[in-house]
Amino acid sequence: MSLESFKLLAAVSIWIVALIGAGFSKRLIEQTTQGAFLSLANCFAGGVFLAAGLIHVLPDSQGQLAVAFPNVDYPLFGLIATAAVTVMVFIDRLGQRQSNTDASGVAAAILFLILSIHSVITGFALGVENQSVAAIALLIAVLAHKGTATFALGLKVRPVSNTATQFNLRMLAFSLTTPLGVVVGLSLLHRLSSTQAPMMEGIFDAIAAGTFIYVAIFEILSPEFDKAKHPFGQVITMILGAGLMAVVALWT
């Protein structure tokens, strides 16, 4: 099998995994009547986002920016991530000041946008990879993250979707972001310089990491912990979500 054929097959596989993750989140919300279970599921998702930002995405940004700017002795990845958190806090405060604005809806929309951009960049990195072994490693990493991330995103998007059809269309669009990145990267494989691709991936990874951290703490975990109905279970499920991403990091 040629490398190009492998990448196209990888794009289809990533799409299927994303659809499965979205389906699980939809089924959980629509068939679960117990608020306690949904609260625990949200805490699990919060742990996933927190660990994904700190253990996976932020170190990836550090590595990519180090390649793009080898002579810069400054933690650009941390600066960009901090700026992303700051912007998210500002948007959240601004949203809460507007009486006609649903702050949760705004946060979900921003998370959807950032995750989509990050997914496109991730797929782009796979598409421009010209080494078979590295491409396989990237595919494993993407598959390990995509389903879980889509599930966690679905838990945020479904409550702010007016209809099931609206939710399905949003998640379908998100599921196509990484495959789109693969196709674009494949088409530009021989057109990008050795620094352009790492710079783009590094910047957007840092933005995504900051967004993940913000959403995990401010939009998911803090509101759930404020309810304080099942504090022990909430902490345990958060740890399980973070632990899952920590284990995934052993192989990615």
Say what the pLDDT of residue 7 is.
85
Token pair 């989509």 in the structure block, residue: 116
**DSSP letters for 113-177:** HHHHHHHHHHHHHHHH---HHHHHHHHHHHHHHHHHHHHHHHHHHGGG-SSHHHHHHHHHHHHTH
* Contact indicator for 158, 29 with CB cutoff of 8 Å: yes
Counting as low any pLDDT under 50, the low residues of the chain are 99-101
* pTM for the model: 0.67
Say what the pLDDT of residue 228 is.
66
* Contact indicator for 24, 175 with CB cutoff of 8 Å: no
CA angle 171, 37, 234 (to 5 degrees): 100
Say what the pLDDT of residue 239 is.
95
Say what the pLDDT of residue 82 is.
95
**DSSP letters for 28-56:** HHHH---HHHHHHHHHHHHHHHHHIIIII
CA angle 249, 218, 146 (to 5 degrees): 35
Cα dihedral angle (58, 161, 179, 129), rounded to 10 degrees?
Answer: -10
pLDDT 10s digits, 128-181? 766 676 577 667 667 766 777 788 788 778 777 778 888 888 889 888 988 998
Of the candidates 21, 194, 206, the residue with the CA atom closest to the CA atom of residue 121? 206
CA–CA gap between residue 6 and residue 72 (Å, rounded)? 36
Structure tokens at 220: 């998911």
Looking at residue 135, its amino acid is: A
Report which secondary-structure segment, H or E, holds 15: helix 3-31
CA angle 94, 215, 226 (to 5 degrees): 90
Going from N- to C-terminal start, the domains of the chain cover 3-248
Say what the pLDDT of residue 151 is.
81
Say what the pLDDT of residue 109 is.
78
Say what the pLDDT of residue 225 is.
86
